[in-house]
Chain A
Amino acid sequence: MSQPAIDRSRMQVSNEIAIQISAMNKWYGTFHVLRDINMTVMKGERIVVCGPSGSGKSTLIRCINRLEEHQQGQIIVDGTELTSDLKNIDIVRSEVGMVFQHFNLFPHLTILENLTLAPIWVRKVPKKEADETAMYFLEKVKIPEQAKKFPGQLSGGQQQRVAIARSLCMKPRIMLFDEPTSALDPEMIKEVLDTMIGLAEDGMTMICVTHEMGFAQAVANRVIFMDQGQIVEQNEPREFFNNPKSDRTKLFLSQILGH
């Protein structure tokens, strides 16, 4: 895969902690889905999480904004610990943006309304200002002309870019991506990845669950490999792809890069 030219001037990792997960365990009923997860994410880090299906990678990032509840251990996001306290959950959620595999745009609202809904109702931004911010981010994902349309009228790639813009309108400090390109036609994957690269260039803290290894090599500063609910290996991308340590990682990489 050809490497896109990336402006790395603002892609700096600070020494402030963005997310701290320690000794975290999660069960679905009796199934132990996440086992003793420990990880620290610094501000400005771009992390790609990969692994076979069922390895718990989606569950891990969904724990970070508590779409899933963990049962043991500690998750601290931007200084706020996630407990059953609803107030903390809402604080974390408004600081952490999330992009889903199936976009999850609101089909009954126009693109512009999709973007302004949360700023207006959660952040109490005046409508005019929210509209301006929304148009700014629509420009950024390169589809300002679609503002008055409904999600059903857009292509998959456009919908996913709208979903990214919707998250950005909340001015999040951290962005989570849950397989953002897995539901897209091949010709649309690039436009979404370009948007994500642009975001990385702006210095956003990102955690991406993805199988786009080209993206991982180009943008990530760390790749985390998960299997059976555990973090098996993590390394900076070049090392990770060229010199994997564990057998499980070698097998996985040979399977996804082998053809």
Chain B
Amino acid sequence: MSDASYVREAMLPAQKPPASETGVVHWVRANLLSTWGNIVLTLLAVYVVYLILATIGPWLLRSVWTAGSLQECREIIEATWGEGKRGACFAVIAERWQQIIFGFYPRELYWRPILTLVLMLVALLPILFYETRRFSWWVGVLFAAALFGSVWGHASPVVTVLVGIAAVCLGVWLCVRGPQYLMWFSLIFPAAAFWLLWGGTVWLPVTILLGFVLGYGAYRLVSALNGLAGVIAAVVIPILWWVLLCRAAADVLQGIVPIALVELGSDQFGGFLLSTVIGVSGITFSLPLGILLALGRQSDLLIVKSFCVAFIEGFRGVPLITLLFVASLLLNYFLPPGTTFDVILRVIIMVTIFAAAYLAEVIRGGLAALPRGQYEAADSLGLDYWKAQRLIIMPQALKISIPGIVGTFIGLFKDTTLVSFISLSDPMQIVSSIRANQEWNGIYWELFLFVGLLFFLFCFSMSRYSMYLERKLKTDHR
């Protein structure tokens, strides 16, 4: 006989959990006070937090924001809070923050780096949030900010008005016509940034961009005859153009239609501006190079493979500082005499190469994590090597490698402070020179806090973005 009490005749609906399983009380009990040992540890931790806050809190509270020197700061603090009290002297940041951020960039030209930064955000948005179509109104906001930044930066009235009108028109146009055009802006942004930051004739970045167009044209023309010759032409013709004709063409065009900004030398770059220029360029150029190196390392072609292995192992095995010294001192010996090769450009190349070698290994890890079946499925559908890489393999391999890639980027960005060793003025170098002043001699916490905060903001936002990206790309539903 069957026991009917074990058989449900009607299915039960889900019920609420007991009160002790949810809520604040449950959380505190489970996470802070679950055993006697944990109660002791919790109390200890609370005490440590209290100690830290009790030290930093008053120090921050008694901060001084306007003073001419450290001495004056101390006097104000003692006058306000009593004899022997100490407090933060943020007056140094109020007085010198522009130097920490812009280095020796002329004050009346600050609008140029600010505009570049805003345009960089405009250029990055369609790449960072390529699937989200809602960012288009952000573009309008950013262009308005660009207008504000350029007015605020005391540009000459004519330039201010022109830039402002152009920005608003372009912003409105982009908002109306849709964000797909923004990709084109992202593509030409590096040249625009170069022109805005270094100044000089507008025709130089234009002719540099023209090199890419020439390469593409050569590829389309020659690859119709022979695929390999097409690739070679696409590489050789732009390089010849850049080395031999680019500058001359720019000069001729400048003679016909003169458009130029005040030209600045690389010695006027410094502070956070320098770090950002090197860091962002390094990040931008190292990712594609790293992908190519990772693919090359997996290649069946012996020469390609050995070259990539030698490149990766060689540059990964050398400290970055050595490469920077090579960039600043030795490279000039190898170049033909008389060639001027901008020092920041040299540093960017070295940082890019260094980071690319690391990235290649990170991405190789992602490639190795893909099942063999993905390659076979792509092959069996008739996709050729590059299409399979682009559509099937890389999207997955890069997704797996996101934490490692962003880790490398963060490392790269912080490593830009190493350029102080080749007498470029990174933020730390500027801090040292401020501290060498008589008025601010003896101050350190406040300045380092400020520099640290700037770096933290940059690195933390990269980290948060990578987590956002990982969440967005999560399609495996495991």
Contacts and interface: CB of A to CB of B under 8 A. Distances in A.
Interface string A144-181: 00000010110000000000001100100000000000
Interface stretch (A34-42, A92-100, A129-137, A201-209): A92-100
A13 to B, nearest CB: 25
B184 to A, nearest CB: 22
Interface string B128-168: 00000000000000000000000000000000000000000
Q: Identify which of A93, A94, A106 gathers the most chain B CB atoms within 10 Å of its CB.
A: A106
Contacts of B387: 121-122
A193 B395 CA distance: 32
Contact of A152 (B376, B381, B383, B475): B475
Nearest to A152: B477
A122 B373 contact: no
Interface in B357-378: 371, 373-374, 376-377
Contacts of B376: 67, 98, 100, 104
Contact of B377 (A86, A106, A170): A106
Contacts, number: 69
A24 interface: no
Contacts of A90: 382, 384
A59 interface: no
A65 B383 CA distance: 13
B473 A170 contact: no
Contacts of A248: none
Given A90-B384, A152-B476, A152-B477, A108 B379 contact: no
Contact of A118 (B381, B395, B477): B381
Interface residues of B, number: 22
Contacts of B473: 108
Nearest to A119: B381
B475 A107 contact: yes
Nearest to B376: A67
Interface string B446-478: 000000000000000000000000000101111
A156 to B, nearest CB: 14
Contact of B391 (A98, A121, A166): A121
Given A150-B475, A152-B478, A106 B383 contact: no
B478 A100 contact: no
B474 to A, nearest CB: 10
Interface string B420-441: 0000000000000000000000
A117 B381 contact: yes
Contacts of B381: 93-94, 117-118, 122, 166-167, 170
A65 to B, nearest CB: 6
A94 B374 CA distance: 16
A78 B295 CA distance: 33
Given A93-B382, A170-B382, A108 B477 contact: no
A121 B378 CA distance: 11
A211 interface: no
Given A102-B373, A108-B399, A150 B379 contact: no
Contacts of B379: 65, 67, 93
A176 to B, nearest CB: 8
Interface string B381-423: 1111001000110011001000000000000000000000000
Interface in A48-96: 65, 67, 86, 90, 93-94, 96
Contact of B382 (A100, A122, A153, A166): A122
A184 to B, nearest CB: 15
B380 interface: yes
Contacts of A107: 396, 475-476
Q: Which of B371, B384, B473 has the most CB of A within 10 A?
A: B384
Nearest to A92: B382
Given A150-B477, A152-B476, A153-B477, A104 B377 contact: yes
A219 interface: no
A118 B379 CA distance: 10
Given A108-B399, A121-B391, A97 B380 contact: yes
A105 interface: yes
Q: Which of B382, B395, B399, B477 has the most CB of A within 10 A?
A: B382
A98 B399 contact: no
A98 B396 CA distance: 22
Nearest to A101: B373
A93 B396 contact: no
A94 B382 contact: yes
Interface in B170-216: none
A122 B384 CA distance: 8
A249 B399 CA distance: 48
Nearest to B382: A94
Contact of A93 (B371, B380, B477): B380
A90 B477 CA distance: 33
Contact of B373 (A86, A100, A170): A100
A94 B387 CA distance: 14
A120 to B, nearest CB: 10
B380 A65 contact: yes
B366 to A, nearest CB: 12
Contacts of B382: 90, 93-94, 118, 122, 170
Contacts of A106: 374, 377, 392, 396
A133 B374 CA distance: 23
| A86, A108, A117, A153, most chain B CB atoms within 10 A | A108
Contacts of B396: 106-108
A148 B384 CA distance: 26
Interface of A: 65, 67, 86, 90, 93-94, 96-98, 100, 102, 104-108, 117-118, 121-122, 150, 152-153, 166-167, 170
- List the 8 shortest-distance A-B pairs measured between CB atoms, nearest first: A94-B382, A104-B377, A104-B373, A118-B381, A152-B477, A93-B382, A98-B380, A150-B475
23 contacts: A65-B379, A67-B380, A86-B384, A93-B381, A100-B376, A100-B380, A104-B376, A104-B377, A105-B377, A108-B396, A108-B399, A117-B391, A118-B383, A121-B383, A121-B387, A122-B381, A150-B475, A152-B475, A152-B476, A152-B477, A153-B477, A167-B380, A167-B381
Interface of B: 371, 373-374, 376-377, 379-384, 387, 391-392, 395-396, 399, 473, 475-478
Given A108-B399, A117-B391, 7 more contacts: A90-B382, A100-B373, A106-B396, A107-B475, A108-B396, A118-B381, A152-B478
